[in-house]
Amino acid sequence: MIRRHVLPAIALLAGLTVGACAAPAASEPTLEGRDWTAIQLNGKPIRLIENQSPPNLTFDATSGRVTGSTGCNSLSGSYRVQGDTITIEKVATTRRACMNGMDTEQPFLAALNQARQWKIAGGLLTLSDGAGQALAVLKP
């Protein structure tokens, strides 16, 4: 009688052990330590002109610095994250005049200045204002 109950129990424990060793579900990328390329500004897709680089950002948790490009000029600033809130400040840029990329520069810089919330969903980083309105969407 004990054998009838022990064998199913062993089979159940073996199944649980194998399930616990399964690969974890894919997690969302982290904010820091990767390059983020802008694909939308203010709800509109970014349209690149020939030879134009897209705006991009890299967040460095160690230094609290954000670096990247506006699509024309290089940028650097500081940032703070607490939970789902973000503050990007003291952003400085180079001052090149570019044939391509100037139309995205000001909206991109404004999005960084106004960003108060961040989230990563579906592999995309969304920077939003305090009311939750998406300002910029970036992909890794």
**Distances from the Cα of 93 to the Cα of 8, 38, 61, 126, angstroms:** 67, 17, 20, 22
Residue 15 lies in a domain: no
| pLDDT mean over 52-66 | 95
Residue 32 lies in a domain: yes
**Which pLDDT band, with edges at 50, 70 and 90, does 74 fall under?**
very high
Here the CATH number for the domain that contains residue 66 is 2.40.128.270
How far is 46 from 25, CA to CA, in rounded Å? 31
Q: Are strands 74-82 and 56-60 parallel, antiparallel or unpaired?
A: unpaired
How far is 133 from 114, CA to CA, in rounded Å? 10
How far is 95 from 18, CA to CA, in rounded Å? 58
Residue 12 lies in a domain: no
Q: Which domain holds residue 80?
A: 28-139
pLDDT in tens, 107-136: 999 999 999 999 999 999 999 999 999 999
Residue 56 lies in a domain: yes
Residue 54 lies in a domain: yes
Domain count across the chain: 1
Residue 93 lies in a domain: yes
How far is 87 from 70, CA to CA, in rounded Å? 18
**Which pLDDT band, with edges at 50, 70 and 90, does 46 fall under?**
very high
pLDDT in tens, 8-18: 444 444 443 34
Which two structure tokens, joined as six digits, stand for 5?
């109950």
Residue 6 lies in a domain: no
